[in-house]
A and B are shown apart, each in its own frame.
Chain A
């Protein structure tokens, strides 16, 4: 009797396998929401080295010190360039507002001009300071956009030995697609840490555009922190590597560090 019951159970499982999986996987939207609940600390200082490589293998290296602080939902980021010498002291400041309808504010301080220039509201899909990441990518870091995509969870896969949910997102409208520069996105989200580990993106014309990999995720001062981002643009063969060192969540950063005046004063 027991055996017969078991066979019946297996048979049902075979007939309705999709049904059973979709029940076990969380929805894409809920995964996206979950990535925003993760603790990222309030203030953060770190050394960020940007390594940019063109298709001929020529490399530009820019070392920076960067500070980030959450003001409620609003995120402020400041980057001071240390090298190359020609841009030493150049500083970049951005205010990311949680309200998507508000354009973010950005400034660049140019020491040779001794002036701070406001950078016109960039499209979210514009490239960030010559890297392969867009302003939107920088804003979200390991989080996932909650508002602009219709998601579908398509399965589970391992990335760097970690179990990840795989979700696919399509922009909700053509306008959004154009603004973001993506017509489709495929995301691998760590199933226990709720951090993005890998993303594939397609351009507006549907061409395979780029792959982002977030690596070396380690716990620093109790917070899960990535130490490397690798981006490859498949269309231009351009590559970007962000290396992160000297991560510190504990030293509190003064609010004044995120002002135009602070850019002028430097580190």
Chain B
């Protein structure tokens, strides 16, 4: 590669000669792509974590379609004095009615005490009537409703809490409001605010509400973290160069990088997911590095050669810098692409793909836009580079580190070995877990609502089990119904499963009602035809759509809905496994089959992949970086040396995660590949420079080290500060997974930086590999 500077010089001569057109084009492209950004839609649903054609997701969607199940908004009305009084029930009625008029809510899919029917046996027949009519509502009537609920096992826990202080209104959203849940959430909160003066407290949670809340939440978060990151980066740039152009030019690169990445996402119709929120900040931190190195070289050259014209300065700078910034950009791109290649979850795949695109855009702008823009300016000196011999505090600090390395190389290696040992131990104990509600700070209203509803009622996490039989009306077969009943009895013994509902519950209630309300008849009738006739009888006075959620139209398919009081993977996974084992043993014949589905099953399915994805992604990133470094240095040993600091940084993080009890979850699982792609830059620069100083320039080792620390070391310090502080900005994010991700990458980058500037030189100092020995 070293025989090419002439070509590079020619190339940058051309670039600087056409600087006007290139700069214009750069700005036009940047603006044109960014114009797509407002078109971006947000998808905060958990389903987004699986590809549309995933069999388990497809099956769930089919089940949802068959039984008309949707992501609900769940309103809890709490009255500590008890809800069975005229005023509270009146409120349930009014809210249920008002909900019907809210756009986005399906007016026919509202479930509450005022919409549901009671099944009562009379001396001669069966009566299916609302629990109460609003015109007849009195405190006395409210007590009758209480008695009716006490007699209707199905609704205990699902509609009214066992302690009678809480009742739920479940409102399902229209499919057309997918991705607009935040609008519905807002309308509902406004509605609830109108009723605030009453004795009752309101809580709003449920799948739909969480999605809606998240959309608004990540919006607000982005408004906070992105400008903050830009400010932090600018401050670092001011310290580095103390010049306006030193701040403005890298910031334009940052805009280009973020603009191209997000603009392309929008143009390709890719949704903005929760973790996408971290992308701009990550790109800001990464994209600025190229600018730092170019400007560092520029000011250094300007200090050494005050006689150069601006064009000469720019061309010389770029000729020196294009190679290291290309290498570091390519390794970062490799890190992002490793995430894309290893991840099955679309949000992470797109994070990788568009992150890689953003880094690539930064490189292109570094090579074309920066030299072109510089051509409009006059030569300039930076106060940070007064003359070629004087070094500032930053340079001095770095030179001191160099002395320490030469003094204690063995101690440094010993510390590294200890970190590796702890890290391997930590990796083996990593806890894979995820909980959607943990996307919010603990004091957010949605978190409180979710906790309250999970505590008081059967919970907000659904696991659906689809039962299939071969022929029409086979569900009426008592044997099949008994199997469903046994399954329900079993699942209700599982931890965190608080309740289950199926057609069997309604049937038993009908049987009891038709037998003088005798509780001995709260059981499945023995006669298939009698069961069919019960349903016909029910249709004579009930709404024909009453059982839509539990049985299909020709009584061939049934749905059993389990409710869990947690959305944490650690608790969901054992339930899904237990259910699946039970189903394969008891529902696996030619006459009856069953499959688990619903949110809980889907979650357990994809979160299960996180660990595998994480290690494959990290391994892939490491491999690509190793190959690339080995190729550029034409030495496998140099390649291995290069990846030592990042490998240690990742292992160190495993220890940190263990100590701080951080889960390997959606956000955090991406840290390793990014940390490798970004962190390896320090090692690349270190190996590249030391080789140049020791092998090509032939400096004695101590002199070479001193030279390395005071110039390259100084630039790397600012590169490190930009990265570490940039990622630290993510720590201020109110979305815990993002703030944890930012924290982990910032720590990893710090470890990589320290490793590259202590461990690597220490190893080279002790081992003296051939690669670094004088060739002349």
Contacts and interface: CB of A to CB of B under 8 A. Distances in A.
Contact of A56 (B66, B122, B541, B544): B66
A118 B124 CA distance: 5
B553 A58 contact: yes
Contacts of B541: 119-120, 122, 126
A117 B553 contact: no
B200 interface: no
A130 B533 contact: no
A84 interface: yes
Contacts of A90: 533, 536
Q: In which size bucket is the chain B interface?
A: 35 or more
Interface stretch (A29-37, A107-115, A245-253): A107-115
Interface in B116-135: 122, 124-127, 129
Nearest to B528: A86
B125 A127 contact: no
Nearest to A58: B553
A205 B107 contact: yes
A86 B553 contact: no
A112 B533 contact: yes
Interface string B96-118: 00001100000110000000000
B476 interface: yes
A54 B540 contact: no
Contacts of A117: 124-126, 514, 537
Contacts of B125: 108, 117-120
Nearest to A53: B553
Contacts of A258: none
A112 B540 contact: no
A238 to B, nearest CB: 7
Nearest to A236: B545
Interface in A53-68: 54, 56, 58-60
B529 interface: yes
A235 B473 contact: no
A65 B528 CA distance: 23
A120 B533 contact: no
Contact of B540 (A86, A119, A238): A119
A128 B539 CA distance: 7
Contacts of B543: 127
B94 interface: no
Contact of A86 (B107, B124, B126, B533): B533
A150 B127 CA distance: 32
Interface string B523-545: 00001111111101101110111
A90 B530 CA distance: 10
A106 B127 CA distance: 12
A86 B537 contact: no
Given A90-B536, A117-B126, A112 B545 contact: no
Contact of B536 (A108, A118, A207, A235): A108
A14 interface: no
A58 B552 contact: yes
B233 to A, nearest CB: 55
Interface string B6-28: 00000000000000000000000
A188 interface: no
A112 B127 contact: no
B307 interface: no
B65 interface: yes
A217 interface: no
A111 B533 contact: yes
A129 interface: yes
Nearest to A118: B124
B136 interface: no
A126 B536 CA distance: 14
Given A127-B543, A129-B539, A120 B530 contact: no
Contacts of B545: 236, 238
5 contacts: A87-B533, A90-B536, A117-B537, A207-B107, A238-B544
Interface of B: 65-66, 100-101, 107-108, 122, 124-127, 129, 472-473, 476, 514, 527-534, 536-537, 539-541, 543-545, 552-554
Pairs of residues from A and B, 4 with the lowest C-beta to C-beta distance, nearest first: A86-B532, A112-B530, A130-B539, A118-B124
Interface of A: 54, 56, 58-60, 81, 84-87, 90, 92, 106, 108, 110-113, 117-120, 122, 126-131, 205, 207, 235-236, 238
